[in-house]
Amino acid sequence: MPSAVAGPEIERLIQLLARLPGLGPRSARRAALFLIKKREQIMAPLAAAVQTALEKIEICSTCGNVDTQNPCTVCRDFNRDPAIIVVVADVADLWALERAHAVNARYHVLGGTLSPLDGIGPHDLTIDALVSRAHDPAVKEVILALNATVDGQTTAHYITDLLHDANVTVTRLAHGVPVGGELDYLDEGTLSAAMRQRTAI
Ligand code: ZN
């Protein structure tokens, strides 16, 4: 263990920053130092923004999106096609599809994918809620926008089976999503193409 070079408050800041995705201990130290140097311009507004977001964050009880209102901004948007539900594993995938302007529809966030190895079963995900939403007569199509991984495709098949008696067309993303690929890492063009060229299952 290297000895601490700063007081416990700064060490704690570094430890917490190191837990952010993409930041290791070295970059966390660099980020902490940057914040300390820019404490008026960056650190204080960041601390205030984190506090405000923390107080206001809500999980949409309809679709599972993260927002500061419930129902979320997407579910409240009446310009979206109510006939289409886009099913994603994670909020990051919803945000990626929105960035790509891939589809003007509603979403459903599963909260993950089925993964027997990790002990994630149907009841750990919002699959029941999706099935009841899909039975709304207004819904005509369910697009499974899931990762092209084994778990993603297992989940897609599972949901497709559950929706067989719902009066909806079930489609999934086609060309453009590489095998083993994760949606959040695709560029906008690839995502848009995959959404346009979706196929019936
Ligand atoms: Zn919502």
| Centre of ligand 1 from the C-alpha of residue 59, in Å | 8
Q: How far is the CA of 170 from the centre of ligand 1 (A)?
A: 20
Cα of 196 vs centre of ligand 1, distance in Å, is 23
What is the count of structural domains for the chain? Answer: 1
User: pLDDT over 90 for what percent of the chain?
Assistant: 72
Which residues form the domain of 121?
80-201
Does residue 146 fall inside a structural domain?
yes
- Whether the model clears a pTM of 0.85, i.e. scores above it, the answer is no
User: Which residues are CB-neighbours of 62 under 8 A, at least 6 positions away?
Assistant: 71, 72, 75, 133
Residue 69 CA to ligand 1 center (angstroms) comes to 9
In a domain, 148, yes or no: yes
Give the closest residue to 63 by CA, choosing from 78, 76, 48, 52: 76
In 3D space, the residue among 77, 79, 81, 75 whose CA is nearest the CA of residue 59 turns out to be: 75
Per-residue pLDDT of the chain (201 residues; tens, 9 = 90+): 566 778 899 999 999 999 999 998 899 999 999 999 999 999 999 999 999 999 999 999 999 999 999 999 999 999 999 999 999 999 999 999 999 888 899 999 999 999 988 999 999 999 999 999 999 999 999 999 998 788 998 999 999 999 999 999 999 887 567 767 788 888 787 788 788 778 777
Distance CA 42, CA 46 (A): 6
Asked if residue 40 is part of any domain, the answer here is no
What is the 10 CA–ligand 1 centroid distance (Å)? 38
